[in-house]
Amino acid sequence: MVTSAPSLMETRPSASVRHPTVAAPATGAAVAPAGATLVDIDQLDFFYGALQALHGVTLGIENRKVTAFIGPSGCGKSTLLRCLNRMNDLIDGARVAKGMIKIRGIDIHRPDVDVIELRKRVGMVFQKSNPFPKSIHENITYGLKLQGQTNKARLDEVVETSLRGAALWDEVKDRLHTSGLGLSGGQQQRLCIARALAVEPEVILMDEPCSALDPVATAKIEELIQELRTRFTIVIVTHNMQQAARVSDKTAFFYLGKLIEYADTRTIFMNPAHAQTEAYVSGRFG
């Protein structure tokens, strides 16, 4: 549903004009009530060259909710996730053959959509933590500096709010200017989340953010997701059923590139409509 002016087009005022903070996120999010559909995926067919990875996926992702994508390996979860910020554009031969994705009513594949702006709005956290080989401070300010932000006080402020937002501030506040690669795996992943938070996205995509972490670090990230859900729309891919059940409001189950079932997480786990879903969430295949 269209709730605000087209915001992804190049014609909009440049990003450096607005000064949002983590505490009061993007303008649009304030307008759209939680639970309204923010991302609308409609009959999406996606191909890697000749290989069709997604078959007619239709799905609405709700504003300021956590949506989990689950399904066996190779079923297209990552592919769909990467469609949402058009990261698949970087892959040769990858293309959307049919259907569309609308964010706030804007088709993100329209030619006048600025993909750079899209990616600022739709942040991403990767499976393997990937901080830049730079200092913690530089990692977090990277996105803002790209947008032309040079005010040092402002950057410092964002570093603090982002790190606090990612529950990492207390652990690293004394070593902001040391390399981000010097942190533990779990800290690195939270640094990547902080880095994504710093550019004020509306949506945060997380592709198996805990798969390389131990249970303690995983618990921390899950806790963090619980905090972030009030301010951001989060889409998370996970292989961990308990995790999906714990953190998400809604769950989508995929199988062989098709969306099998999409419903409230409680429904998916307690009372799935499809036998395949039931088999998968109860661990009988996958």
Partner 1 sequence: MASSRPTEGTHFIAHKGTFRLFGLTLGDCIKFFFGGNAVVSVVVLALITIFLFREGAGFFGENRENLEVYRQAGLEYVDYIRTQQDDHTALTRYLSDLRVRQVNYLTQQKKLSLAAANAALAGFDTFADQYGDAVEPIRTLVSDLTEQATAIKEKFTVTEDRKTQRAQLLAAGQTEAAAKIETVPIDFVAELKPILGTLPAYREAAAEFSRRLNAVIATAPAMPEPALQARLERFKELNAEYLAGFPSVLRNLESWDFRAPVPASRAFTSFLFGHEWRTASFWQDWYGVIPLLVGSIMVSVVALVLAVPLGVGAAVYVNQIASPFEQRLIKPSIEFISAIPSVVLGFFGIAVLGQLLRALSQVPGLAWVPGFPYAERLNILTAGCLLAFIAVPTIFTLAEDALNNVPRAFTEASFALGATRLQTVVKIIVPASLSGIISAVLLGLGRVIGETMVVLLCAGNRIAIPDFTAGLAVITQPVHTMTGIIAQEMGEVVQGSIHYRALFMVGLVLFFLSLGINYVAQGIVRRYRISIG
Ligand X SMILES: Nc1ncnc2c1ncn2[C@@H]1O[C@H](COP(=O)(O)OP(=O)(O)OP(=O)(O)O)[C@@H](O)[C@H]1O
Taking the complex as a whole, how short is the minimal distance between the CB of residue 283 and ligand X, in angstroms?
Answer: 16
**CA neighbours closer than 13 Å in the CB half-sphere of residue 246:** 15
Taking the complex as a whole, how short is the minimal distance between the CB of residue 194 and Mg ion, in angstroms?
Answer: 23
Q: What is the DSSP string of 182-214?
A: GS-HHHHHHHHHHHHHHT--SEEEEESTTTTS-
Q: Which does 30 bind (CB under 5 to 8 A by kind): Mg ion, ligand X, partner 1, none?
A: none
Please name the helix (run of DSSP H) or strand (run of DSSP E) that holds residue 233, with its range, or none.
strand 233-237
User: In angstroms, rounded to a whole number, what is the distance separating the alpha carbons of residues 90 and 88?
Assistant: 5
Q: Which does 91 bind (CB under 5 to 8 A by kind): partner 1, ligand X, Mg ion, none?
A: ligand X
Q: Which does 142 bind (CB under 5 to 8 A by kind): Mg ion, partner 1, ligand X, none?
A: partner 1
Nearer to ligand X, 50 or 153 (CB): 50
Of positions 59, 163, 166, 192, contacts partner 1 by CB under 8 A: 192
Q: Which does 181 bind (CB under 5 to 8 A by kind): Mg ion, partner 1, ligand X, none?
A: partner 1
Of positions 51, 116, 270, 273, contacts partner 1 by CB under 8 A: 116
Alpha-carbon distances, residue 259 vs 41, 44, 87, 255 (angstroms) = 11, 10, 21, 6
Taking the complex as a whole, how short is the minimal distance between the CB of residue 196 and partner 1, in angstroms?
Answer: 7
Of positions 23, 50, 73, 216, contacts ligand X by CB under 6 A: 73
Are 125 and 193 in contact, with CB atoms under 8 Å apart? yes
78 touches Mg ion (CB under 5 A): yes
User: In angstroms, rounded to a whole number, what is the distance separating the alpha carbons of residues 113 and 106?
Assistant: 9
By the criterion CB under 5 A, which residues form the site for Mg ion?
78
By the criterion CB under 8 A, which residues form the site for partner 1?
85, 87, 90, 92, 116-117, 119-120, 123-124, 126, 128, 130-134, 142-143, 146-147, 181, 192, 195-196, 199
